[in-house]
Amino acid sequence: MGTFHGHMLPGGIFLLLGFVWAVKYSLKFFSQNSKPALQRKSCFNRLEFVEWGVIVIASFIGIITEQFNSGTYFQVYNEEDHKWVNLSAWQHTTVFLFFLIAGMMGLLQQCKLQIPLGLDYLLLSVAFFTEGMLFYFHTDRHSLMDQHIHAMILVPTFGCAFCLLLEVHFRNHLILELLRTSMLLTQGTWLWQISFVLYPHWGASNWDENDHESITFINMALCWHFAAVVLILSIIYGIVYCVFKRQERKFRETAIEIQQFNQDKKSYTALLNGSDEE
């Protein structure tokens, strides 16, 4: 993960999962007061599988990528020279492992197995807590900027963990779900911010990693990221609202047409019966 693409990849995964959550919870909110027939036509249940499937696939890819790109090859300790083998890669692998466990539990619950309700969210909360803990102790010997910009990601990371822990008891709480989604999206955008700050690309100039003014800017940047995420969530909410209302209107028009057809059919049948009697 200690490269430009190493931060971009998990950031992109968090953004993808965050968008899935944003659409899912917007759909769920609008489906609560709709007719049962319309609820069955929604793609809400499919998004549940997509959500956990993304976590499982992305975590598995992350584990394989970390181990083989770093040259670790699932070896923790080298007996020949008596040294640890790339523990930084093992830290990242550990994070992906906990997300993989949580994702597998989520998929098992979707298969309607006899699993305690809330265990999937509890394990996902543990995964975010593990990520935050390892990030906190990840940059002890790095530059001041590197330490600070990684420390800032602890805010959305522990925010996700805390929301999920509450949702173990307060299931289907829309405000907690949206807060968790905003925290996850902020994690994704902030990992991309880390990539561009620590590993400049496309001709960008290097940051002074010991400049306190740059660190002050980083503090504001995290707030701007969260503000942008709130705007993105509002746009997604608006789009889902428009699409949902359009589908609801089509469903209502179809129901009216069917009702009108049945009335015309009854009238036609009554007319034929009257003709036969004559």
Radius of gyration of the chain measured on its C-alpha atoms: 25
Burial 223-245 (b: 16+ CB within 10 A, else e): eebbeebeebbeebbeebeeebe
For the chain, the domain total comes to: 1
State which residues form the domain around 216.
4-277
Rounded Cα distance between 122 and 218, Å, is 31
> Nearest 5°: phi and psi at 83?
-135, 155
Closest residue by Cα to residue 1 from 76, 69, 75: 69
pLDDT digit of tens for each residue in the chain (278 aa)? 667 777 888 899 899 999 989 988 888 888 776 655 444 445 666 778 888 988 999 999 999 988 888 788 888 888 888 888 888 888 889 999 999 999 999 998 888 778 888 899 999 999 999 999 988 876 666 778 888 888 899 999 999 999 999 999 998 899 999 999 999 999 999 999 998 888 887 666 778 777 788 888 998 999 999 999 999 999 999 998 888 888 777 766 666 666 665 665 556 565 556 555 55
> Nearest 5°: phi and psi at 84?
-70, 150
Taking 3-state DSSP, the helix, strand and coil percentages for the chain, each rounded to the nearest 5, stand at 80, 0, 20
> pTM for the whole thing?
0.85
One-letter amino acid of 62: G
